Amino acid sequence: MKRRIKKDIVLILLGVAIVAIPFLLRMKEQERSNRYMKAFEEEQNEEKQNKKDHKKKDSLLLQEGVIGIIEIPSLDIKYPVFEGAGSVQLNEGIGHMTNTTELCGKGNCVLAGHNGSRRGVYFTYLCNIEAGAKVMLMNRKKEKHEYTVKEMKVVNPYDEWVTKQTEGESLTLFTCAEHGTKRFVVKCEPVNNTDQQDGEKTDRRKGGGAIGSK
């Protein structure tokens, strides 16, 4: 009888661990993401930091490859953007495809994120985005650009339409779909972006567009 009780207790503890471990991993990764974003945002206002602190934060950002922040308010998404879209970068946040336009630049900037990662939410709920939703980007040049979602499509993994360059500024987001056999792609266009930097009161259009804090 006692042996049966011990066995039941062990099974219960194992069940709790199976449920808790992914949750704890996501909490840990979210803390890391928040630290990256805090360092990045503080870097954007050098006047409020002494040179030693700024040098330390800048070193962290360069070492980890953080090049910006993406925010999608309607999906409660806010993550650091890393240069590159390999497993290392995508396990830390959102990755920038190196062969595409830089953040907030002229042309097609392409960002990738994991779907269903145990390390974080990332682009897991990107499939729930709607046309007209806002997407905000901030880069290392202190530029903050706002975009609106115009098109969503499921394509093959190597569809060149995803990374095809455009004459004007555009933003493309994508993640895995259909158990990794397809890609869910979101195409966005800019909202009259006039580079807004920290300390400025004017925006690209009346009503906002700057990346807020969580």
**pLDDT of the residue at 206:** 36
**pLDDT of the residue at 4:** 64
Q: 2-42: per-residue pLDDT in tens?
A: 666 666 665 565 665 555 555 555 555 666 666 766 776 66
CATH number for the region 2-190 comes to 2.40.260.10
Q: Which amino acid is at 169?
A: E
Q: 106-119: per-residue pLDDT in tens?
A: 999 999 999 987 77
Confidence of residue 183 (pLDDT cuts 50, 70, 90): very high
CA distance readout (Å), 192 to 32, 87, 91: 33, 34, 32
**pLDDT of the residue at 203:** 44
Quick one: what percent of the chain has pLDDT higher than 90?
A: 53
Residues 147-168, mean pLDDT to the nearest whole number: 96
Alpha carbons 32 and 26: distance in angstroms, whole number: 10
Stated pTM of the model: 0.72
DSSP assigned state of 84 = B
pLDDT at 129 over 50: yes
Confidence of residue 194 (pLDDT cuts 50, 70, 90): low
Q: 33-92: per-residue pLDDT in tens?
A: 667 667 766 665 654 555 545 555 555 555 568 999 999 999 999 999 999 999 989 988
Is 60 in contact with 101 (CB distance < 8 Å)?
Answer: no
Confidence of residue 120 (pLDDT cuts 50, 70, 90): confident
53 vs 170, higher pLDDT: 170
In the numeric block, the tokens 């806010």 are attached to: 78
Is 186 in contact with 151 (CB distance < 8 Å)?
Answer: yes
pLDDT at 191 over 50: yes
Alpha carbons 188 and 173: distance in angstroms, whole number: 8
Q: Domain spans of the chain?
A: 2-190
The mean of the pLDDT values for the chain is 79
**pLDDT of the residue at 126:** 97
